[in-house]
Amino acid sequence: MTGARDTAAAPPPASGGWQEGDPAGARRWALLPEPLPLEAGGALPGVRIAYESWGRLAPDGSNAVLVLHALTGDSHAAGPAGPGHPTPGWWDGLIGPGRALDTDRWFVVAPNVLGGCQGSTGPSSLRDPGGSPAGSGGLRWGGSFPFLTTRDQVAAEARWADLLGIGRWALVVGGSMGGMRALEWAVGRPDRCAALLVLASTAAASAEQIAWAGVQLHAIRADPGWRGGDYHRADPGAGPHRGLGVARRLAHVTYRSEAELASRFGREPQEAEHPWHGGRYQVESYLDHHAGKLARRFDAGSYVVLTEAMNSHDIGRGRGGARSALRRVRARTLIAGVDSDRLYPLAQQRLLADAVPGADGLRVIESPYGHDGFLIETEQVAPLVREVLA
C-alpha cells in the first residue's frame, strides 16, 4: 500500500480542485442567469454548474435521470480516468448501454454539487467565472464563500435543470450526501420527481454525524495552511493538505466497517516498517494513502462548505418535522441501506421507508464495506435501480 511518505517528494497543490485552464474532460457548464438566494441570507451571484451526461434527452424530456454524488464525488459518475478526470467514474458499473441506467434508453445527468470543486461554483472558483484567469489577477471566493444548505444546493440544481429543459425527472437517485439532496428534490419539488432511490442516507443529520464532521472541520481549520480559507495562491505544499488529510483519515474510518478493516489489515505492520520504531501498521498506511489521494483531487474549502451543508440537512425543518415532510413525496420510492454502515445506520433508512408514502419497505444491501457499500456493491444496487424505473 502506497503511503503518504512515498509521495513526500512531490508536495500537493494548495487545492486539488479543478481550475480554470485545466482540461475540461467530459464536463459541460451551465451559468444560472440570476443570483441564487440563500437560506442563511444574501444571494450567490455568477453560479455555474458543471455536469456530465450520457445518452440522449427525449424530445418530451421524459427520460432524464438525475444522479447525485456524495461528499467527495463529482460529475464524473461514469467513464475512465483521463485529462480533467483524475479518477474513473464512481458509479461506472451502473451507467452505460445495457446497464441498470441504460444510456440507450435514459438520459443520465450528474452535476457537480454547488460548493464543490470540480467545475461548479465553490470556494476555489473565480468570483467572476467569465473574467481573467487566477494567474493574471482573478480572485477566488476562498474564505468569503457563503454558508450553503442542502436546500440551496437543490435550488441551484432546479434552476440548472430548467436550463437543460428538464421539468420532471424520471428518477432522482443518490447516496449519502447525494441521498440528502435526492430527498430534498422529492419533498421540496414533488411534482418534478417521478421516481426516487435513496441509498445510505437520512432525514436529518444526527448529533453523532455532526460530531464526526465537527472534528474534521476543526482539523482543517487548525492547519496553519488554512489561512482562513484564503490559501488558493499558496505554493505546493503550503496549503491545508495536512488538515484535509486528517479529516479524510477520520472520515474514511467511519465509511468502512470494523470487520473489513480487521480482515484486511489486522495488526500487521506496513511491509518492512516496525510501528515500535517509527513505522506504521498497514491500516495506517491505508489511511495515509487515501489522505494523500484526496489532497491531490479535492479542495479543503469545498470539504468545509459541503460538510457544513450536510450538517444543515433536516428534511423536516419548517415543514412540521421529518414525518410530515416525507408525506409530501409522490414519487415511486425505494429506500436502501447497508447492513454494516456505522455512519448512517439502518435505523435512519428505516425511518425514511416507514414515512414515505408507498415506499416498498426497507431494502438492505449486504456488504462488509460499511457506508461505502452503496458505491461498491453495484451488483446489488443495479436491481434496485431497475425496479424503481420499471
Which of the residues are catalytic?
Answer: 176, 341, 371
Label residue 60 exposed, middle or buried (CB < 10 Å: 0-12, 13-18, 19+): exposed
Using CA of residue 22, residue 25, residue 31, residue 36, what is the dihedral sign?
Answer: negative
CA–CA separation, 350 and 353 (whole Å): 5
Residue 361 to residues 230, 307, 350, 352, 371, Cα–Cα distance (Å): 47, 29, 8, 9, 20
Which residue intervals of 256-365 are DSSP H helices?
258-264, 282-295, 300-312, 322-326, 346-355
Residue 227 to residues 2, 138, 221, 231, 292, Cα–Cα distance (Å): 29, 18, 8, 6, 20
Residue 248 to residues 163, 265, 307, Cα–Cα distance (Å): 35, 18, 12
The residue type found at 327 is R
Using CA of residue 338, residue 342, residue 347, residue 353, what is the dihedral sign?
Answer: negative
CA–CA separation, 188 and 386 (whole Å): 25
Instruction: With CA atoms as reference, report the closest residue to 144 among 44, 245, 16.
Output: 44
How many alpha carbons lie under 13 Å from residue 40 in its C-beta half-sphere?
A: 12
Q: H-helix or E-strand containing 300?
A: helix 300-312
Cell 497543490 locates to 13
Q: Sort residue 228 into left (φ over 0), alpha (ψ -120 to 50) or beta.
A: left
Cα 201 to its chain centre, rounded Å, is 12
Residue 110, helix vs strand vs coil: strand
Q: Which residues of 154-185 are buried (b: 16+ CB within 10 A; e: fewer)?
A: bbbbebbbeebebeebbbbbbbbbbbbbbbbb
